[in-house]
Amino acid sequence: MERDASLSELGDYITAAIPGTADVAEVTFGQLTLTCAAKDIVPVLTFLRDDANTLFKVLIDIAGVDWPERPNRFDVVYHLLSMGHNQRIRVKVEANDADPVPSVSGLFSAAGWFEREAWDMYGILFSGNPDLRRILTDYGFDGHPLRKDFPLTGHVEVRYDDEKKRVVYEPVSLTQDFRSFDFMSPWEGAQYILPGGQPDEDGGDTSKGDVKKP
């Protein structure tokens, strides 16, 4: 509780020091979370990095969160560490897939790759990033795989074509319907013999510990 009180005081200090930019500061799960508008992210992080009472000089990560039901469907979350004060802070801004968020790669060199990952996985744009390319998926990848509306099978599949002697991209083709295998169920055994099993007197498979039906 003493730590939460200290973080609350820090949040009050930050919101008072940069009024109109840092809108909300709250302590949840033992960590201070600051909320601001996307357009203000550069001045807010500049203050957090340089002010003597904060000194959040280490950018640990930039993460994305998808809320597809919201008009601004994404949260961009910045995690910072102050080694001088032994404190952490989380800064959140809302974004969509049309309006870019200002890049903070000029403040933290690590931000360049973090922003590339957020673009690759979610499609969040960052204005001012000098090299906003995909970083985890292939250059020809279709879509952004951590969006909640991205299909589990993806849009394309990759295979090696022996005739063309190269890797080819093709639309996903499911060769069979989804099947439910219940032969390991503790409630009922398979109605057929599993490979390597031996039939019992009831026609079940004793090698897998099938439960005999009454």
- Encode pLDDT of 196-211 as tens digits: 666 555 555 444 444 4
In this predicted structure, what is the pLDDT of residue 191?
61
| DSSP H stretches of helix in the chain | 2-17, 41-50, 111-122
Whole-model pTM: value is 0.75
Give helix 41-50 / helix 2-17 axis angle, nearest 10°. 120
Strand ranges (E), the chain: 22-28, 31-36, 58-66, 74-82, 87-95, 101-102, 126-127, 156-161, 166-171
In this predicted structure, what is the pLDDT of residue 87?
92
Pairing of strands 74-82, 87-95: antiparallel
Q: How many other CB atoms are there within 10 angstroms of residue 173's CB atom? A: 7
In this predicted structure, what is the pLDDT of residue 189?
57
Is 53:13 a contact under the CB 8 Å cutoff? yes
In this predicted structure, what is the pLDDT of residue 214?
47
In this predicted structure, what is the pLDDT of residue 163?
92
Q: What angle do CA 149, 90, 22 make, to 5 degrees?
A: 100
In this predicted structure, what is the pLDDT of residue 213?
47
Report how far residue 180's alpha carbon sits from residue 173's, in angstroms, rounded to the nearest whole number. Answer: 19
Percentages of the chain per state (helix, strand, coil), in multiples of 5: 20, 25, 50
Q: Which residues of the chain have pLDDT under 50?
A: 205-214
